[in-house]
Amino acid sequence: MKLSSDLNEFLLPYSDYNYSKNESGVYNEDTTTQFIYDQFKDYAIGHGCSAKWDGVKKKVETEYLPECETPDIDPIPRDKNKSAVTNQDGVFILPMFLENSQAQEFKWLSDFSDVTDNNVIEGLLTFVDSYGQWIENKKGNIKYQSEFKEIAHQELEKCEQDYQRMKENVETLLKGENNKDNLASFRLMNSAMFMQLWHSVKVKQNEVILMLENKDFNSFDFNFYKEADDKLFSQSESAGWRAFQLAFILLNLDGIFKPENDENWERRNEWVDLVWFPTGGGKTEAYLGLIALTIINRRKLHKEEGGGVASIMRYTLRLLTMQQFQRASLLIMALELIRRWNQYGLGNEPITIGLWVGDNSLPNKTEDLITEFEKLNNKQHNKIPFSNCPWCGGNIEGEDKEDSENLNNRKNQWYSKRVHLKCSNDKCSFSYPKRRARVRQNDQGAIPVCLSDEIIYQHPPTLLFGTVDKFAQLAHKVNGNENGRNKDSRRLFGNGNWEQSKPQNGYLPPDLIIQDELHLLLGPLGSAVALFESAVDQLCTREDGTRPKIISSTATTRNTQLQIAALFDRKVNLFPKPGVECDDSFFAFYRRSFKNPEKENDEYLSKRKYIGVLPTGRTQIWMQMRLAAIIMTHRAIFELQELQDKSPIDFDVYSNFEKAMDYYHTTISYFNSLKEVGKTQSQIQTYILKELRRVFNRVIRPQKLMHSLYTYGPIQESELTGRLSGEEVKNELKSVETKWNSINRFANIENDETVRGSVPPEFVVATNMISVGIDVSRFNTIIMNSMPRNTAEYIQASSRVARNDYGLVLIVHHPFRARDMSHYEKFIEFHEKMYSYVEPISITPFTKKSVERYMGLYLATMIRHTTRFTDRESARNISTISNEELSSIISELTEYFSDRKIRLSNFDKLINNLLKEENVTQIKQWIKEAFEEWKELEENLDDSTDLVFNRKKNGTNQARKQEQLYVDIEEYEGNIHSKKWQVPMSLRVIEPEAAIKINSI
Ligand SMILES: [Zn+2]
């Protein structure tokens, strides 16, 4: 159906919004979100179909395969008010807001440049002021002077606050004689950022190994980096910060350096700075910068006590951690190398990174780590998160035994009870396991990683890198014995029983916590984490009351205050502010090109196209199979054309073809549940192949070579879902990352042997596991089977494609699901304003149900970390403890929640309701009863039985019987003494599975 008219603008938008204030006299979030998308008007909604309209408002029509392209985000601030200029490709684009971006360059800002401190300050202030100027320009815009003045000014005022904060931070924390140390730390942080990036890029290009072979190469010392080229990505541009990354760091200086006028250090203790940026924007670099600055400042300021864990970086999904861990490792290696240069006062303790993950991704015990190292040395499959030296690309080797130096010897203490991982290239800075002064240069040592839980507890790493679920271990791994130090998680917070060689009072607790992907902490996991986070927050609080700085990132900007208050008990500052137009927040800009300098025919540039499909009269599975078959046939047509044009076959000459084949060879099929994965998986080799043959024969005339390649099968499949183990994930990821290679396409001869042709997986079934952090440039086609549960997930999953080049997202809508239909019927509107459709997240950690389920974990952690009940066997001591002491323990534990309630009363009603008076009463009652149940359990035991917290042992040759307090999640109902002490080993296993007990057959 089509409606058109010759009149000008005969169509009116159906959704013209009326922006009005709420009862408190401000424009609320829903209204301002609508406002920034005001430029997109919508003219139709389909019914049982979709709709589209043309730009000149003369035509609307129904559409069955609606499509929409989402604009690319340009991280460079550009000036909308100026005329367009031509870029190197001869295209008209908008000029950059800041002509000179020197102050964003790593090397220019670093210690390796000859730029004076004054110049650095000037550069930073100019950078910050350009944001101020942008705000002024927007305020001056005629549109925001009249009709929309109030709402625009309300939003721009928020930008203004960030601007003022950055400016003040530079002026009061970096500038001037008093702040010389701070500025030195800031510049050193940039040095580390430059070094890690240099190695990351050069190792990928295989240049570093060659450099080491050169006779003139001496070592990776200060002068090496001073000379090193910083044009890492293009000949004309020095590598540096994106504007939002540098701005975010400047914004957070007040959480790392204590401002003089902020006596209670409110900026650190009371605020979470939350970064929101479209996927692929580079949040990781911003985190890494803040981590480096925290580590440098802590070591310099607190000397020995500033050792131990300085920063915790936490992810919600395990897959992410491997890729991100490698990037963070490079930064830690840079900092460790700088420390070894011995000029900056970073102390004697190595700067290290520890990978603390669940799901058996890594061994818990050091002896098992040695087994993994042996596999690594023998080139077998292993769990080690690196395959090569991150610093030079050379081979790596693991030592086969634990270092046995005396831990109390000051000189060797850092090396003892570790197994070292080292680079096998003698010239590399990370090639020596430990001190062997004769052969080793001063700045050489092992790769500073801690890869088993035991090593992590024994030598708490400077950066603790882990998954949320692993933190449940805190309730289990506590040990006060001298020889149990490698089982004592209190050490991660600076507490515990320290060796003579370490500071007697231990270390300061961690200074910085980074929680990535906040929006994934929802539902039961969110509630579990929220309660548990209360324990982490208290354990990270210094004696003087200083709390850790918390940084987080999110994919949704809706209702974030509620989530932050529930999770972290703090206020939130979102960055960057969206401003007044969705296509220009200064820090993020919709990429666009023009036909001429006067900017006519404004057009957004896009790499990602979404196409909606609604199966009618056919099942969704059938539709999915057919789509896969069509995609594969298109691949065949493309390949056929290329081969015909360029015969005889000479692959070397057409690299563009190879890239195209590589980029569009693999199709991801995304599912919302594992059940659907199973259904499809069983049909890949039958139905998809059958469909492929059918479509192929219909559109391609019999062509023997293509026929044999495409329709004989089997289809190369792969899987990226939550049911794989950590090691399987690593292997699958490796196989999907393999490049399509024309040489291997056909059978070929290698070392005088004929090798069968091979291609990377072409059909990958996946679930939401791929939604975070996977960055594979080869992924450029995805079939989404129904809309995911929420819009954030849809954005994240579909953003896996078109990372580097054009990508296609096909959504097979479900005809019987209202949500799917609604998205299909307003397909264009939904995709134009996708981010505004992201649903707010709600978590309710303090409700009765949540408390009953997750409070046990919180309570167990607090008791074992902060009271005398440290050892596993000390559970029996509940009987010897005086009533007085017990009630003081209980009141301290419950006080926390009363205090928290008072803090929440500063917020509006909705947030205030997170923890109601009745919830506090319930929590108090619950804690009291938990202690009573514990006492009762103990009293009922006879003298020959011990009471332990966890891991009870009742072997045949056991002298004494053991009973345990914690309830294992899979324990039979009948064996449970106390429902209160359910303390899972992982936050992921929070829902017990149904247990069937068969009494007799
Ligand atoms: Zn190396």
Residue 202 Cα, ligand 1 centroid: separation in angstroms? 12
CA distance 281 to 943: 62
Residue 200 Cα, ligand 1 centroid: separation in angstroms? 12
Residue 288 Cα, ligand 1 centroid: separation in angstroms? 21
Residue 241 Cα, ligand 1 centroid: separation in angstroms? 26
Residue 430 Cα, ligand 1 centroid: separation in angstroms? 6
Residue 346 Cα, ligand 1 centroid: separation in angstroms? 23
Residue 448 Cα, ligand 1 centroid: separation in angstroms? 12
Long-range contacts of 59-65 (CB under 8 A, 24+ apart): 59/2, 59/3, 59/4, 59/5, 60/2, 60/3, 60/4, 60/11, 61/1, 61/2, 61/3, 62/1, 62/2, 63/827, 64/614, 65/611, 65/612, 65/613
Burial of 346 (0-12, 13-18, 19+ CB in 10 A): buried
Residue 423 Cα, ligand 1 centroid: separation in angstroms? 5
Residue 747 Cα, ligand 1 centroid: separation in angstroms? 36
Residues of the chain under the 70 pLDDT cut: 8-9, 15-16, 55-57, 279-280, 317-321, 359, 406-412, 433-440, 601, 645-655, 773, 969-978, 988-1001
Residue 424 Cα, ligand 1 centroid: separation in angstroms? 7
State the pLDDT at residue 990: 46
Residue 237 Cα, ligand 1 centroid: separation in angstroms? 27
Residue 387 Cα, ligand 1 centroid: separation in angstroms? 11
CA distance 391 to 156: 44
Residue 442 Cα, ligand 1 centroid: separation in angstroms? 16
CA distance 142 to 126: 26
Residue 396 Cα, ligand 1 centroid: separation in angstroms? 7
Closest alpha carbon to 556 in 331, 792, 385, 789:
792
Residue 57 Cα, ligand 1 centroid: separation in angstroms? 62
Residue 208 Cα, ligand 1 centroid: separation in angstroms? 9
Structure tokens at 740: 């399509």
Residue 207 Cα, ligand 1 centroid: separation in angstroms? 12
Residue 421 Cα, ligand 1 centroid: separation in angstroms? 11
Residue 428 Cα, ligand 1 centroid: separation in angstroms? 5
Residue 311 Cα, ligand 1 centroid: separation in angstroms? 25
Residue 425 Cα, ligand 1 centroid: separation in angstroms? 6
Residue 326 Cα, ligand 1 centroid: separation in angstroms? 14
- As beta bridge partners, residue 606 has 71
Residue 420 Cα, ligand 1 centroid: separation in angstroms? 14
Residue 431 Cα, ligand 1 centroid: separation in angstroms? 6
State the pLDDT at residue 515: 93
Residue 432 Cα, ligand 1 centroid: separation in angstroms? 10
Residue 209 Cα, ligand 1 centroid: separation in angstroms? 8
Residue 283 Cα, ligand 1 centroid: separation in angstroms? 27
Residue 662 Cα, ligand 1 centroid: separation in angstroms? 30
Residue 388 Cα, ligand 1 centroid: separation in angstroms? 8
Residue 221 Cα, ligand 1 centroid: separation in angstroms? 14
Residue 429 Cα, ligand 1 centroid: separation in angstroms? 7
Residue 205 Cα, ligand 1 centroid: separation in angstroms? 15
Residue 339 Cα, ligand 1 centroid: separation in angstroms? 17
Residue 403 Cα, ligand 1 centroid: separation in angstroms? 21
Structure tokens at 585: 């927040």
Residue 401 Cα, ligand 1 centroid: separation in angstroms? 21
CA distance 739 to 779: 11
Residue 273 Cα, ligand 1 centroid: separation in angstroms? 36
Residue 394 Cα, ligand 1 centroid: separation in angstroms? 5
Under a CB-based contact definition with an 8 Å cutoff, are residues 948 and 875 in contact?
yes
pTM value is 0.91
- 51 φ/ψ angles, rounded to the nearest 5 degrees: -140, 155
Residue 668 Cα, ligand 1 centroid: separation in angstroms? 35
Helix (H) / strand (E) containing 562: helix 560-568
State the pLDDT at residue 992: 45
State the pLDDT at residue 331: 98
Residue 349 Cα, ligand 1 centroid: separation in angstroms? 21
CA distance 631 to 336: 49
CA distance 329 to 346: 18
Closest alpha carbon to 93 in 447, 501, 638, 605:
605
Closest alpha carbon to 195 in 107, 256, 311:
107
Residue 873 Cα, ligand 1 centroid: separation in angstroms? 45
Residue 459 Cα, ligand 1 centroid: separation in angstroms? 23
CA distance 215 to 967: 63
Distances (CA, A) of 509 to 211, 348, 357, 460, 539: 41, 19, 20, 11, 7
Residue 545, amino acid: G
Residue 343 Cα, ligand 1 centroid: separation in angstroms? 23
Residue 426 Cα, ligand 1 centroid: separation in angstroms? 8
Residue 435 Cα, ligand 1 centroid: separation in angstroms? 17
CB atoms within 10 A of CB 758: 14
3-state secondary structure of 495: coil
Residue 757 Cα, ligand 1 centroid: separation in angstroms? 34
CA distance 891 to 708: 75
Residue 170 Cα, ligand 1 centroid: separation in angstroms? 37
CA distance 902 to 700: 72
Residue 204 Cα, ligand 1 centroid: separation in angstroms? 13
State the pLDDT at residue 977: 63
Residue 325 Cα, ligand 1 centroid: separation in angstroms? 17
Residue 402 Cα, ligand 1 centroid: separation in angstroms? 21
Residue 376 Cα, ligand 1 centroid: separation in angstroms? 15
Residue 439 Cα, ligand 1 centroid: separation in angstroms? 16
Residue 218 Cα, ligand 1 centroid: separation in angstroms? 14
State the pLDDT at residue 841: 81
Q: For 267-284, how does the pLDDT look when each residue is reduced to its tens digit (9 = 90+)? A: 999 999 999 987 667 888
Beta strand spans in 893-960 (E): 945-948
Residue 392 Cα, ligand 1 centroid: separation in angstroms? 4
Residue 495 Cα, ligand 1 centroid: separation in angstroms? 34
State the pLDDT at residue 40: 87
State the pLDDT at residue 321: 61
- For helices 523-539 and 883-904, give the axis angle rounded to 10 degrees: 120
3-state secondary structure of 135: helix
State the pLDDT at residue 266: 94
Sign of CA dihedral 438, 439, 442, 445: negative
Sign of CA dihedral 816, 820, 822, 827: negative
Residue 738 Cα, ligand 1 centroid: separation in angstroms? 23
State the pLDDT at residue 30: 86
Under a CB-based contact definition with an 8 Å cutoff, are residues 96 and 79 in contact?
yes
Residue 600 Cα, ligand 1 centroid: separation in angstroms? 53
**DSSP collapsed to 3 states, 417-485:** CCCCEEECCCCCCCCCCCCCCCCCCCCCCCCCEECCHHHHHHCCCCEEEEEHHHHHHHHCCCCCCHHHH
Residue 393 Cα, ligand 1 centroid: separation in angstroms? 6
